[in-house]
Amino acid sequence: MIGMAAAERIAVVTGASSGIGEATARMLAGTGFRVVAGARRLDRLKTLEAAIGAVVLPLDVRELASIEAFVRDVEARFDSVSVLVNNAGLAAGLEPVGAGDDANWRAMLDTNVLGLLRMTRACLPLLRKAERAHIVNLGSVAGFEVYAGGAGYTASKHAVRAISRTLRIELNGEPIRITEIDPGMVETEFSLVRFKGDAQRAANVYQGVEPLTGADVAEAIGWAVTRPAHVNVDELVIRPIQQANAFTVHRGSLKRQ
């Protein structure tokens, strides 16, 4: 950590039971943070508790009562929070608007948008108690690109982009940095969740591509949060080399001209 007493700093990571969230919790712990890991699947968090000494707490960002209980517990244990990683998020379905499913849209908006807003609001008093603090929002290339069948998800990630930029303005003048991390194709449980457990359909998304891993994205988060205090990484886009945009993907071996 550059110019920071990392061992005394608390990092909260939502959606920490798998994928990017789990990798980020491990990365931050390795950097010296005391990690508070939150997720719905508390049994999965026990692995982090054993591996990195994380404080693990149940958290469903879709439920305001769950967020409030989580933050009360954090506040009872620690004086402040230095890093909040708003990682919890999901995609549900891939239908065009005309065939869209209300339950899928509601799940994405409740998790990706309202969950992020409410979690940030609830943690702000603890972030403001830290000497320096940092909010990291997990966006997506879907926050500035669109694709057929992705209206619900891309709308939610466009909202994350708007929230991040708004926070940057609202918190200007306070020692709180705001970073939006926008990954492209990452092979986690993302597609498995999107396709309701259809493993073959999920695997097809990454066919012929070496996608990013959760650890790749976690490394980018680690880089952003360890910059000197006067440096704010506003946005960081990270994609596999085979992905040029949301719908231009080279599947197969890379070619030399």
Catalytic machinery residues: 153
Query: At 202, phi and psi to the nearest 5?
Result: -65, -40
d(Cα 227, Cα 120) in Å, to the nearest integer?
A: 21
Query: At 186, phi and psi to the nearest 5?
Result: -125, 125
Residues near 9 by beta carbon (within 8 Å), at least 6 away in sequence: 32, 33, 34, 82, 83, 130
Strand bridging mode 10-14 / 83-86:
parallel
Q: What angle do CA 18, 185, 12 make, to 5 degrees?
A: 35
Residue 104, number of CB atoms within 10 A of its CB: 19
- Percent helix, strand and coil across the chain, each rounded to 5? 45, 15, 35
Tokens of 134: 């940092």
